[in-house]
Amino acid sequence: MFMDNGYERVDFDHDADVYVINTCTVTNTGDKKSRQIIRRAVRKNPEAIVCVTGCYAQTSPGEIMEIPGVDIVVGTQDRKKMIGYIEEHQKTREPINGVTNIMKNRVFEEMDVPEFTDRTRASLKIQEGCNNFCTFCIIPWSRGLLRSRDPESVVLQAQKLVDAGYKEIVLTGIHTAGYGEDMKDYNFAMLLHDLETKVDGLKRIRISSIEASQITDEVIEALDRSEKIVRHLHIPLQSGSDTVLGRMRRKYSSAFYKEKVNKIRKALPDLAITSDVIVGFPGETDKEFMETYNFIKEVGYSELHVFPFSRRTGTPAARMKDQVDEDLKNERVHRLIELSDQLAKEYASQFEDEVLEVIPEERILDDNHPEMLVGYTDNYLKVRFAGTPEMIGKIVRVKLTKAGYPYNEGTFVRIMESATHATV
């Protein structure tokens, strides 16, 4: 939008006439870091127009307007009005608060995102918001309730991204696979089918995250017959203990989750499953932690993202009694990270000596080899191999010679297709 209106983008280290700061509020640290960066922008050029947007702006516009030097606040909706506000402020020099009640919004805000700085993978946002209200999470208050993007617009955006040279599209959102829950005759499985059949030249579709409850028979079938959806699902767990899941207000039990995993593994035995886990949720006992530990071992994830519970002000969990001691949380985090490393190696070792398709993303420094590339396979194995920079962004066949974590070692076999990519 700014480019279309004649603005030029400069690096943060340059002086700018307008600063647009996109903020985060998922943790209290997100708020703090956002405030720091706003102050830095104001210090850099006190004459500049400072416009603050994003989740922290949505939930706390008053707090942000009070920071000296902030001129405009826009939340997570009405972002198309931003340039108009900037021009208005240039004339009037009056502060503008453009934040409105997000909870009333039931329509997905269309915004064209035709390219990314990371040139190998493109994110495609298909929905916004969440209706779940887990007790530790502030997101529904910053993003509002679930709303889906129009299917035709999703397909059009995907085609645009493929035409711009992207091989892989990652479907993203807040509650991504909740796509369609606000529609009558259309659902997530149908969107997957449309993307597969209507987008010319698309090679890989990745779903950024899917809740266990959203793995319906229809979705399993779509994955099973697809040639483009990758063999990888991220299924958030958060805890493997039913009592903790209850306190988190997650809408499944460990048994339900396991049943879904078993079902999908039956259809797709090689599937990589990754997950998020929160450790040290209020009141988490040793027994509850061990229930989570053992559950994770049983499921056999290919990678885990482990987070120590962080008290997000304004959420029910932040007010719960029995907050877990920080040292104990850290100890539990380390135990789960160790388990995750071990499970990741076990998963990857199944593919040793196999030839897999990798999309190299970047060069990495390696003392023994000047041309080392790194990229992901469809089943999300991070592979390091000797190659040349022209391979970046293309689909390359690589033999996995040694499983490991975080890197697997491989040797280049051949390039699958010669289509050149735009600037890398």
Residues found near ligand SF4 in the complex (CB under 6 A): 130, 132-134, 137, 139-140, 174-175
Q: What are phi and psi of 247, to 5 degrees?
A: -65, -30
Tokens representing residue 227 in the block: 């040639």
Cβ closer to ligand SF4: 248 or 272?
Answer: 248
Cβ closer to ligand SF4: 146 or 268?
Answer: 146
CA-only gyration radius of the chain, Å? 23
Min CB(143)–ligand SF4 separation in Å? 8
Amino acid identity at 96: I
Min CB(171)–ligand SF4 separation in Å? 16
Cβ closer to ligand SF4: 125 or 167?
Answer: 125
Cβ closer to ligand SF4: 120 or 274?
Answer: 274
Cβ closer to ligand SF4: 137 or 333?
Answer: 137
Q: How far is CA 355 from each of CA 21, 153, 327, 399, rounded to the nearest angstrom?
A: 44, 36, 43, 4
Cβ closer to ligand SF4: 134 or 396?
Answer: 134
For 354, which DSSP code?
Answer: -
- Distance, CA of 5 to CA of 20 (rounded, Å): 15
Min CB(252)–ligand SF4 separation in Å? 11
- Distance, CA of 354 to CA of 340 (rounded, Å): 23
Min CB(140)–ligand SF4 separation in Å? 5
The helix or strand, by DSSP H or E, that contains position 172, with its residue range, turns out to be: strand 168-172
Cβ closer to ligand SF4: 49 or 237?
Answer: 237
Amino acid identity at 273: I
Question: Which of 267, 309, 296 is closest to 135 using CA atoms?
Answer: 309
Residues constituting the chain: 424
Are 83 and 53 a contacting pair, CB within 8 Å?
no
Min CB(174)–ligand SF4 separation in Å? 5
Min CB(147)–ligand SF4 separation in Å? 13
Q: Which strands, in side-by-side order, build the sheet including 121-125?
A: 121-125, 168-172, 204-207
Are 380 and 230 a contacting pair, CB within 8 Å?
yes
Min CB(379)–ligand SF4 separation in Å? 24
